[in-house]
Amino acid sequence: MKKLTLLFSFCFTSLFLYAQKQYAVVIHGGAGTILKKDMSPELEQQYKEKLKEALAKAYEKIKEGKSSVEAVEAAIIVMEDSPLFNAGKGAVFTHDGKNELDASIMYGKDKTAGAVAGVMTIKNPIKAAIAVMQKSEHVMMIGKGAEQFAKSQGLEIVNPKYFWTKKRWDALQKVKKEELKANQPNAMNAHYPDYFLIDKKFGTVGCVALDKDGNIAAGTSTGGMTNKRYGRVGDSPIIGAGTYADKNVGISGTGWGEFYIRTSAARTVAAKYEYQNKDVKAATEEVMAEIEKLGGDGGIIALDKNGNVAMTFNTEGMYRGTVTKDGEIEVEIYK
Ligand code: ASP
């Protein structure tokens, strides 16, 4: 009888595991007030196609047996090169009309990490973050120094004009106008006045991948927030805030960066997973709830060593997508 019960529970567990999808890659392309009514069918299609392309590129690496770092790099490059997202080309503008880019990567196997912040000439900041991780003894480099290092590593350097897009330029003018109307030209100094809540963040990109050897990598790349000033840096290049990976789980965040820094968002998800046995869904939801309680918003993606995925957000939408271990791609935008 005991044997029979054991056999039954074994079959049941196997069936359950079989039924549950196992994922190899998860990406986000930013969270915010993304509403179907504001989106033309053509634009929606463009976003979906780009997300699918990014996932396919990452999956190709995983299928070939490459490391999760290479998969994350491949997905993020697709989104950095697309003007649709707030990363690389298409990044938002600072108050001074510049594009200052941030990116980071972490490899769970050995907890190595790399990040760049406030760079203006590196075509693909995620490549620079990976170079910092793999080719230097540092974790984070900023501004001119980071650019000099990227150049020394043979990375592509571009004229800052490369990052200019009309859509982001117009968004900056709109936010500045609102600021003037509210007679508060020092938005980043003020205590979150109402006009600050105009959606200034859109389209940061991130990816978490799990390779065939069971190693996880997570990466994030962004232009930050429209109208940022005083050399403001958000959570995206900060290991433990916007990006984190260990042997159990990888995380990438997108949203109002200050809140992700204050909650150590990405690291807290990993800690909940490790110390409280929370699954990725519960862990990301709890961190998102804390961010919301403090007044922040955005989303978090996570992928664990067993291929479980979470895509949690408290905004109207989040560009997002997954690939299963069998190569099945799914993308979504709205709630
Ligand atoms: N988290 C980014 C930042 O605060 C912005 C975003 O995710 O859209 O810089």
pLDDT at position 24 is 98
| One-letter amino acid of 143 | G
Cross-sheet strand order for the sheet of 243-245: 243-245, 249-255, 298-304, 309-313
125 Cα: distance to centroid of ligand 1 (angstroms): 15
> What DSSP character marks residue 330?
E
pLDDT of residue 197: 52
Per residue, the 3-state secondary structure of 213-268, as one string, reads CCCEEEEEEECCCCCECCCCCCCCCCECCCEEECCCEEEEEEECHHHHHHCCHHHH
- 11: which residues sit within 8 A by CB, 6+ positions away? none
Query: Widest CA span of the chain, in angstroms?
Result: 78
Q: Distance between CA 103 and CA 233 in Å, rounded?
A: 11
Closest to 147 in 3D by CA, of 122, 126, 114: 122
Nearest in space to 255 (alpha carbons), one of 296, 289, 316, 219: 296
Give residue 323's pLDDT: 98
Ligand 1 pocket, residue 299 CB under 6 Å = no
Atom of ligand 1 nearest to the CA of 224: 9
Question: Measured in angstroms, how far is the CA atom of residue 200 from the centroid of ligand 1?
Answer: 9
- CA-proximal residue: ligand 1, atom 7 (nearest): 254
Nearest partner of 81 among 191, 163, 189, judged by Cα: 163
Gap from CA of 253 to ligand 1 centroid (Å): 8
Q: Which of 204, 222, 263, 268 is catalytic?
A: 204
| Distance from the alpha carbon of residue 36 to the mean position of ligand 1, in angstroms | 22
Q: Which atom of ligand 1 is nearest to the CA of 31?
A: 8
Give the dihedral sign, CA 197/200/202/208. negative
Catalytic site includes residue 204: yes
pLDDT of residue 8: 52
pLDDT by 10s per residue, the chain, length 335 = 555 555 555 544 444 544 689 999 999 999 988 889 889 999 999 999 999 999 999 999 999 999 999 999 999 999 999 999 999 999 999 999 999 999 999 999 999 999 999 999 999 999 999 999 999 999 999 999 999 999 999 999 999 999 999 999 999 999 888 888 876 655 554 444 444 556 666 789 999 999 999 999 999 999 999 999 999 999 999 999 999 999 999 999 999 999 999 999 999 999 999 999 999 999 999 999 999 999 999 999 999 999 999 999 999 999 999 999 999 999 999 99
Residue matched to tokens 């807290």: 268
Whether the Cβ atoms of residue 27 and residue 50 lie closer than 8 Å to each other? no
The CA angle 242-174-27, to the nearest 5 degrees, is 25
Beta carbons within 8 Å of 56's beta carbon, 6+ residues apart: 323, 329
What's the pLDDT at 289? 98
Q: Residue with the nearest Cα to atom 4 of ligand 1? A: 257
Q: Report the nearest-CA residue for atom 8 of ligand 1.
A: 201
Q: Which of 256, 258, 312, 319 to mutate to test the pocket of ligand 1 (most atoms within 8 A of CB)?
A: 256
Distance CA 14, CA 220 (A): 35
Tell me if residue 273 falls in helix, strand or coil: helix
Which residues, listed in sequence order, are joined to residue 222 by a DSSP beta bridge?
102
In this prediction the pTM is: 0.92
Specify the DSSP element, H or E, that contains 125: helix 125-135
As to burial, measured by CB atoms within 10 angstroms (0-12 exposed, 13-18 middle, 19+ buried), residue 159 is exposed
Give residue 299 CA to ligand 1 midpoint distance, Å: 10
Q: Is the CB of 252 under 6 A from ligand 1?
A: no
